[in-house]
A and B are shown apart, each in its own frame.
Chain A
Amino acid sequence: MTITPLFFLFIPLLFLVVVFLILNKLGERTKNIWTPKRTMIGITCYIILGFTAFLYSSFFSESTIPVLSPSEIKQAEKKFERIQKYDQEYNSSYLKEGNKKKTWKINFEGNTLPVVINDDNYSSLKIRQRYNDTIEPGKALVTYYQFPDIVEGIDLSDEVPLPNVYVAQNKLFIEFLSEQEVHYYRIKATLDILDFNREIEHKPYGRYDSYSSVLVIDIPRSTELEDSQGLVQYID
């Protein structure tokens, strides 16, 4: 930390000083009401209130969103590497049943299926094409697989919006929604200034989203997928 950010601190600091001085003046004005004894009682009440808040929070306010521990994040990281390896080897075995989130059954005419992908925000969604012998000609199966999308220990996978998949004019359209924003309110009972600077080097945080969602288009072997944008990869 250099001195430059300290200059940005200057204005709030000034504000703080002004607040203190006003409070000091107010304290002198209200010295008849706020005798030392009453002030002490007031402060004690505040502390008790804070303690109650602590008890309440520790017993009742449970977060529905789990936070992964660094070791869990490490594990997830390993998993990602495995997925990546399989994917690069065109091996679809990493696409497990449990990761299936949605399946679209589509019908089309002819032997070619043109694909149009609208992705304004260059999302990380991977699109794969796979031949499936069990599918009749003129039909295709689009399956959305969701893998954990971990940001700073929080799994975002439930928040990731699904794309729109539909057939129009005998073309398969895959449309992504505009960027979604998720805002988390995170309780960190530490000193963030210290933690932030200390962890910056060996932080297991960061985002592992390169393989968090995969869209697989299953087509019969007789069908040709026409991908003019070059975004669809083949997979076994």
Chain B
Amino acid sequence: MNIIQCEELSKSFGRRHALQRITCALDAEKIIGIIGRNGAGKSTLLNIFAGYLKPTNGSCRVFNENPFNNIHTASNMIFIDDQLSFSHYLSLEDILKLGADFYPNWQNDLAYRMLDYAGIDLTLKHQQLSKGQSATFNLVYGLVSRCALTILDEPMNGMDEVIRTDFYRAILKEYLAFPRTFLISSHHLQEMETILEEILLIDEGTVIAHAPLDEFKEQLVLLNGPSEALAELLSEMEVYTQKTVTGTTSAIVNARKLFVSEEILRTKGITVSSLTASEVCKYLTSKKGRDIDAIFD
């Protein structure tokens, strides 16, 4: 069942087009990574899902309703990012009480245990937390509220390595304990790969890939072989990047357009190897012919 459905969704801020004609459908009860580079439009899309922003064009439906300013969506959704703020008067303990009062599926004990694990003093105010601590607290807040749609916008920003790995596990465990839809946006795909089921890749305001993780990874392949053998092959297809060192060329190409079987390739001395998801993302979103080295030359 689709939890979110977007059709021809566009959003512009003045002249800037943040999102352009996005059409996608997200399944319920999955951990979905919203991946994209800085300024790709991830946060804008998530804000529209959360009902904070109104699409300029097109439609967006969450739980089969228009999410904008919708109390039904709001009561089944939580949006966690580093801007989450609470009144100056509330200590963390009070904030947990606040959450418990509002969210019907709130897990207070779990919150206490997780915060204790993270070593966060509950008598502090939210404003007194360090960047990493507040990110941890926000994530805990998002997890224990157990909303059917949990949106985590860059949840791990500022956390240290140890806590990050711990909390990726925590997300997974919580997901298993109470299956729900997680939308996690991040630009560190590498460390999230283990928990993601699906990836929605956004670049320059458009969806350029939306697939289960495995399928996503198989989109691109790395070809390695003698330059002469590859040259012919590469001339017929889209090449994402290509490097030639002493007669050996390595190139990344779109796997779906590689109509030659692996057997034949092997006979030509070409090896095919797969890429990691984050590498795929990198190549899919990198602009052609752009090279940081060029700036310094």
A residues with a Cβ closer than 8 A to B are 28, 31, 35-36
Contact = CB atoms under 8 A, between A and B. Distances in A.
B123 to A, nearest CB: 11
B88 A35 contact: no
Contacts of A35: 89
Nearest to A28: B88
A10 to B, nearest CB: 32
Contacts of B88: 28, 31
A36 to B, nearest CB: 5
A25 to B, nearest CB: 12
5 tightest Cβ-Cβ pairs between the two chains A and B: A31-B88, A36-B89, A31-B89, A35-B89, A28-B88
Interface in B53-105: 88-89
Contacts of A28: 88
Nearest to A36: B89
Contacts of B89: 31, 35-36
Nearest to B91: A35
A155 B248 CA distance: 117
Contacts of A31: 88-89
B92 to A, nearest CB: 14
A28 B88 CA distance: 8
A28 B125 CA distance: 13
Nearest to B89: A36
A35 to B, nearest CB: 6
B290 to A, nearest CB: 47
A31 B125 CA distance: 11
B90 to A, nearest CB: 9
Interface string B35-49: 000000000000000
A28 B89 CA distance: 9
A52 B239 CA distance: 86
Nearest to A32: B125
Interface in B217-260: none
A36 B88 CA distance: 10
Nearest to A27: B88
A50 to B, nearest CB: 25
A36 B87 CA distance: 11
A23 to B, nearest CB: 15
A35 B88 CA distance: 9
A78 to B, nearest CB: 65
Nearest to A37: B89
A32 to B, nearest CB: 8
A31 B128 CA distance: 13
A42 to B, nearest CB: 14
A150 to B, nearest CB: 56
A29 to B, nearest CB: 10
Contacts of A36: 89
A31 B91 CA distance: 11
A31 B89 CA distance: 6
Nearest to B88: A31
A35 B90 CA distance: 9
5 contacts: A28-B88, A31-B88, A31-B89, A35-B89, A36-B89
A36 B94 CA distance: 12
Nearest to A34: B89
Nearest to A39: B89
A179 to B, nearest CB: 59
